[in-house]
A and B are shown apart, each in its own frame.
Chain A
Amino acid sequence: MSAPIVVEGVDKSIAVGFWGRKKKLLERVSFVVDAGRTVGFVGVNGAGKSTTIKHIIGCARPTAGTIRVLGGDPREAAVRRRFGYMPELPYLPPTLTTDEVLRLHAALCVLRDPGRRIDELLELVGLAQRRRERVGTFSKGMQTRLTLALALLAEPELLILDEPMSGLDPVGRQLVRRILREQASAGRTILFSSHVLSDVEALCTDVVVIDAGTIVYTGGAAGAVGEPTGRWVVRAPDQGTPPSGGAIVDARRESDTWVVSIAATTGEEAVRLAHGLGLAIIALEPERRSLEDRLLGIIGRSSS
């Protein structure tokens, strides 16, 4: 069985301006999303995330290269029946009610008797009390939740989500994270783009990084965030005076403890140095690069 998403050598150029000058949006973009994985598609604004996703869902044709989704061409209706797409912004008809929008999309997905599925989804995204209200009166967060419900409507085997946390408050963010975890544990394959790296770190098994229309990293999320920095993080109780000493790289107070970053190559060395500084160790762990550090490093290397 082939991977749910296979992108091979995709180029995309468009004509811009009066003279139709060629502008390259994507260059030799290649990556694979394997079945059952949750893949974060990461890049800065304008890197080409949404453009790539538009190609994957069949809304645009590549200038060169091929895209296979669920073993077929995403421009075929039979393929599009099997995936759910959530756009970057909630593009919804403002004068229709929640129920009407869901019923319209149920008809477009050729769902028979969608009533029960619509009830389930409205409960899931917390809009059950709003089903008779017009979408145009909703906040952006509520529209985003409705858009997620639309993506889940046909119980797709593949979810393609473009910035699914965009415009959500912390409660909405938690809700979407929970839904995505549930979808992942139900065996669904998920590709979602984001530049909010904490979401990617929290949810993804794999990461694809795009910069200036080119893929600059593909691999496991753990690999992307797991590199040790050569420092150790010590938590110690606040004893009245701020910790100080040559080995300390950084120190910050969190409620009644100090979180101290110590330059050390091994745990033993970190313990010895902490004791030497008079710190009573509560917890000790190696400091690892965050995805943000890693991403900035990758993008920095690719552009230099």
Chain B
Amino acid sequence: MRARQIASLAWAGVLQLLRTRVYLNILVAGVALVGAALAFDRMSAGEGGRVLLDVGSAFIALLVAVLAGVVSITAVTREIETKVASVVTARPLARVDYVLGRFGTAVGLVLLSNLCLGGLLGGVLWLSGAPHAALSFGVVLFASFEALIIAAIAIFFGVGSSSTMSALFTTTIFVLGRLTEELGRLIERGRFGDATPLLKGVHAVLPHLPAFDLTPLAHGVTSSPADLAQRAAYGALYAGAFLLAAAFRFSRRDLL
């Protein structure tokens, strides 16, 4: 029963996104990918495929994560500000289900974008005879965890703050999350004195977004299925924790 409510809300959100032409972003990214493939093929003397995998997957991961964040913030804050959320939550729908429905919209968008763009990247690599066509598709799909974490964080801020503040907080966490490996190395070198325990705490709480970048696999780095499963579980738990916090925050909010 609740699953049907959540799925309906998520699907309505995806429909609205498609009708506001969000797919144009995917189209533009696709054209950019094909253009880049042609350029790299000429520039990189035989390594074009590998360079395209690195640049292409990084580009897709960045684009889809930003898209997931922006779409989640605007969907939630706009619905609260325009009072659509009051009408929806006046239905027999728990606030946590509203949050999950909006996250479902982000899941739909991220999967749709990554399936299209991952398929395109794989296709371009395959057509150019590069060795990692199938791997590229997997790399792009695995990066969905990063986008979904960003969507969950965006929803957490969106249910309790204005769209501007939510965008600011989410972007900050996204940027810091992408720099966690560098931050970790700096902390290990012990250059922060008394602030080290505090920074260690911050480092532990930040999302470790590089964990979802599988492009090193194309450069000979190996990773066991257990390691991949652990990374996936970390992504799911991290997003789940933020969604739980978002639901708690939203349940306490007055929709006046």
Is A bound to B?
A: yes
Contacts from A to B (Cβ < 8 Å): 14, 25, 51, 54, 57-61, 77-78, 80-81, 85, 87, 89, 91-93, 95-96, 100, 103-105, 107-110, 134, 147, 150
B128 within 8 A of A: no
A271–B1 alpha-carbon span in the complex (Å)? 69
Interface residues in B221-254 (C-beta closer than 8 Å to A): 254
| A87: B residues at CB distance < 8 A | 83, 86-87
The answer to whether B256 and A93 have CB atoms under 8 Å apart is no
B90 within 8 A of A: yes
Interface residues in B79-105 (C-beta closer than 8 Å to A): 82-84, 86-94
Interface residues in B2-17 (C-beta closer than 8 Å to A): 4-5, 7-9, 12, 15-16
A107–B5 alpha-carbon span in the complex (Å)? 6
**Complex A-B: 29 CB contacts under 8 Å:** A14-B256, A54-B86, A54-B255, A57-B86, A58-B89, A59-B89, A77-B92, A77-B93, A77-B94, A78-B92, A80-B91, A81-B92, A85-B87, A85-B90, A91-B84, A91-B87, A92-B84, A93-B12, A96-B12, A100-B15, A103-B8, A104-B9, A105-B91, A107-B5, A107-B8, A108-B8, A109-B91, A110-B4, A110-B5
| B87: A residues at CB distance < 8 A | 85, 87, 91-92, 147, 150
Task: Using A59-B254, A87-B87, A104-B9 as known contacts, say yes or no to A93 and B16 having CB atoms under 8 A apart.
Answer: yes
| A103: B residues at CB distance < 8 A | 8
B172 within 8 A of A: no
Task: Using A80-B91, A110-B1 as known contacts, say yes or no to A59 and B86 having CB atoms under 8 A apart.
Answer: yes
| A96: B residues at CB distance < 8 A | 12, 15-16, 19
Contacts from B to A (Cβ < 8 Å): 1, 4-5, 7-9, 12, 15-16, 19-20, 82-84, 86-94, 254-256
| A59: B residues at CB distance < 8 A | 86, 89-90, 254-256
In the complex, which of the residues B7, B12, B90, B93 contacts A100, with contact meaning CB atoms closer than 8 Å? B12
Shortest A22–chain B CB gap in Å is: 14
The answer to whether A61 and B5 have CB atoms under 8 Å apart is no
Shortest A183–chain B CB gap in Å is: 18
The closest CB in chain B to the CB of A93 belongs to B16
Task: Using A60-B255, A110-B5 as known contacts, say yes or no to A91 and B92 having CB atoms under 8 A apart.
Answer: no
Shortest A120–chain B CB gap in Å is: 19
| A54: B residues at CB distance < 8 A | 86, 254-256
| B92: A residues at CB distance < 8 A | 77-78, 80-81, 108-110
A91–B9 alpha-carbon span in the complex (Å)? 15
| B15: A residues at CB distance < 8 A | 95-96, 100
The answer to whether B83 and A108 have CB atoms under 8 Å apart is no
| A51: B residues at CB distance < 8 A | 256
| B20: A residues at CB distance < 8 A | 95
| B255: A residues at CB distance < 8 A | 54, 59-60
In the complex, which of the residues A108, A134, A150 contacts B5, with contact meaning CB atoms closer than 8 Å? A108
A105–B93 alpha-carbon span in the complex (Å)? 10
Shortest B105–chain A CB gap in Å is: 12
A85–B86 alpha-carbon span in the complex (Å)? 10
The closest CB in chain A to the CB of B93 belongs to A108
A100–B20 alpha-carbon span in the complex (Å)? 16
| A25: B residues at CB distance < 8 A | 256
Shortest A45–chain B CB gap in Å is: 15
The closest CB in chain B to the CB of A76 belongs to B92
| B12: A residues at CB distance < 8 A | 93, 96, 100, 104
| B94: A residues at CB distance < 8 A | 77
The answer to whether A104 and B89 have CB atoms under 8 Å apart is no
A89–B84 alpha-carbon span in the complex (Å)? 10
| A107: B residues at CB distance < 8 A | 4-5, 7-8
The closest CB in chain B to the CB of A94 belongs to B16
The answer to whether B84 and A58 have CB atoms under 8 Å apart is no
A103–B254 alpha-carbon span in the complex (Å)? 27
The answer to whether A61 and B254 have CB atoms under 8 Å apart is yes
A131–B256 alpha-carbon span in the complex (Å)? 30
In the complex, which of the residues B8, B83, B254 contacts A91, with contact meaning CB atoms closer than 8 Å? B83
